[in-house]
Amino acid sequence: MRVGEKMYSTSNPMPTHQLSDYNRGIMGSHNDSDARNLRVYQTWKGSNIFCLGGRLVFGPDVRSLFLTIFLIMIPVILFCAFVSQRLINDFQHQLGYYVVAICVVLTAHVIILLFLTSARDPGIIPRNLHPPEDEGSSISVDWSGSQVAGPSLPPTKDVIVNGMVVKVKYCQTCLLYRPPRCSHCSICNNCVERFDHHCPWVGQCIGKRNYRFFFMFVSSTTMLCLYILAFCWVNIRKIMDTYHCNMWTAFLKSPVSGILILYTFICAWFVGGLTAFHLYLIFTNQTTYENFRYRYDGKMNPYNLGCIHNVLQVFFSKIPKSKNKFRAKVRVNSSSSYASSMPLGDSLSPEVPKRSFDIEVGKRQAVADEDFEAIQSQIDSVGGLERCGTQPRHTNWDHKANWEITPDIHVLAAEFGMESGLADRQKISGDH
């Protein structure tokens, strides 16, 4: 079932004011007057943050993006403001201007790659509204008089990848069997295809649709750090040659160069090491998640196609389109306590009753055990009178309140397939 679809019941709806608080949470009347049109991103159940009407998709920790931009821009600004002036004067044939221009272009390239990594769908798998039926079995997601809390689906399944058996897991949150290499990100609350990791520096998951840009961002940042580091050293050497002084005196004459050398050296170790690690992952066709969790041997990795094909797959394969249409319109029933949406394209036919049940992440299974036991005990007590043929003992509590079957019980009994039994027992209790 696609996101936004509903399951409908043919029962006659009870008035909303007669329902219990719990049933108001899982039942809603689909009236045209109550429905309102929203976009998919406005009813999104993940933790993502959307901008520009759902065109940009960020992670919940998008604020860290500003820190990353700050850490990139500050050394570039210091380099252009304090170091480049001496380089422009010392280099002939306007080579100093080219040095500054290349730095600015490389910085713009890094920032663009950062936004391409952070502001796009990383490969989110659309979640289901109800669990899938187990293949080869007769498992149903609906209750029919059973006290079982829900369908019993196997936690894993075996699939064949390049001739090798790979286990895929069932996601309890997204209600689906994850495709191979897919994992659920606890930060974004989404299942992400070819999940690599969640990067706090870009504020987004790294997956199938943005891994290429992430690697280019990390490697380009490494190049930018080495570029500034190199020309700061050149500036120090020019000062030493001009003033015939040692290195420490040169640092005193240009302290910004010394600060930038230290800063870019530390950053180059960090992003440079990350670049080298991801080069290893690309050559062996692994993800960060797989490397730390499974530690594939070279002969056991079912995704390894060889070094050349692995590189081609990452950098030259077509990026798949997003499986989510965040700007698509959905119809939301505003009377329900939580969003239950249906695509406008899947409009209701006249034969479908207008009473609907929103089934999401076990909402259908959410009838509390104590509610069911209370109903069952009340039905059993009425049934006991039927079998014994005796009058109840006179007590201080109200007789009518004890034996009257409320509309709430009628509604829940209809869900459990006990409506006919309740009608007979209500008649007997009325005779008593």
Which residues are catalytic, by number? 199
CA distance 123 to 191: 8
First-residue to last-residue Cα distance in the chain = 48
Short-list 178, 180, 161, 159, CA closest to 170: 178
CB-CB neighbours of 371 under 10 Å: 16
Q: Which amino acid is at 193?
A: E
Residue 204 token pair: 């987004």
251 CB-near residues (< 8 Å, 6+ apart): 236, 257, 258
CB distance 73 to 50 below 8 Å: no
Q: Which amino acid is at 176?
A: L
CA distance 387 to 125: 55
Element (H, E) at 414: helix 407-415
185 CB-near residues (< 8 Å, 6+ apart): 191, 192, 195, 198, 205
